[in-house]
Structure 1
Amino acid sequence: MTVTAIQIGLDPDVIDVTSPDFARFPGLTREKLRAANDDNVAGLRAAGYLVDNCLIPFGEAGTAKALEQLEAGSYDAVLIGAGIRLVAGNTLLFESIVNAAHVTQPGCRFVFNKDAVPTPDDIRRWYPSPEAVPAR
């Protein structure tokens, strides 16, 4: 069975990369963030993983969009981006997404990137190959 994943991250268009919240990620631009997001999804798909990409706005609208996509699919892995997890102002958004994933995807593994940009290596910590689905 092929590993299914959803990558949930902030839509680069909603991020003010010059704000103090995002200044902690040196050199970050909307263009770099979008390219990294697209490259990660393409890399995971090229490696054989089945990946849905979910770019969200801040706040309740972001929670609603993530929940809608989580309810629409079945995922082995839920990747939540650093812009959601590591920015203090997004704690409620992060918490809401984790709780939504817990309810809608009870057997999923959570995957977190270490930097502002994700890489395929992030999912490989839990799923070394796209066929490595653990028993639920």
Structure 2
Amino acid sequence: MTNVLAIGFDPTTIPGFDPAPVLAGIEQGNKAFAELGMAQDLLLISFDELDGRAQAKIVDHLAAKPYDCVVVGGGIRKGTGLLELFQTVINLVHWHQPDAAIAFNESPGDSTDWVLKALEQRRNR
């Protein structure tokens, strides 16, 4: 079985943000992973955990079991003022899951597409 860890923000904790579309995308993504026979663990970081608690949660998840692929969500990657967090997440994945492919998504609903591409790239390296 392919094990995937998806890391992103808990959309319900982002001030002034409508979480409904992201929550719907997460549900769509969960179904798509299940249909492909992939086990997906979802790590949602609260927007108020950017003081180091997020890093500890990420390390705990990365240490829990081996992952074939880690998806870093768009909110972490694209958010204004979040470059340091993005860099930290990538380094943590690299250090704690060196054999895992890393994928990025446009939305939670297209994560499976990007995971499949990243796994294919890993196979062809």
- Give TM-score scaled by structure 1 length: 0.77
Once the 2 structures are TM-superposed, how far is the Cα of residue 17 of structure 1 from its aligned partner? 4.7
Question: 2:61 matched to 1:62?
Answer: no
Which structure 1 residue ranges, 4+ long, deviate > 6 Å from structure 2?
Answer: none
Among residues 82, 85, 89, which one is paired with 1:90 in the alignment?
Answer: 82
Q: Which runs of 5+ in 1 are unaligned?
A: 19-28
Greater helix proportion = 2
**Count of equivalent residues:** 120
| Aligned counterpart, 1:34 | 23
| Aligned counterpart, 1:4 | 3
RMSD, matched Cα: 2.1
1:51-91 Cα shifts (integer Å, max 9, x gaps):
11111123122222111111112101010000000113111
Once the 2 structures are TM-superposed, how far is the Cα of residue 124 of structure 1 from its aligned partner? 1.8
Residue 74 of structure 1 aligns with an amino acid whose one-letter code is P
Residue 30 of structure 1 aligns with an amino acid whose one-letter code is P
Provide the secondary structure at the position in 1 that maps to 2:20: helix
- Give TM-score scaled by structure 2 length: 0.83
**Identity level (%):** 28
Q: Which moved more, 1:117-126 or 1:47-56?
A: 117-126
Q: Which moved more, 1:119-128 or 1:92-101?
A: 119-128
Provide the secondary structure at the position in 2 that maps to 1:5: strand
User: Matches of 1:116 and 1:3 in 2, distance apart?
Assistant: 20
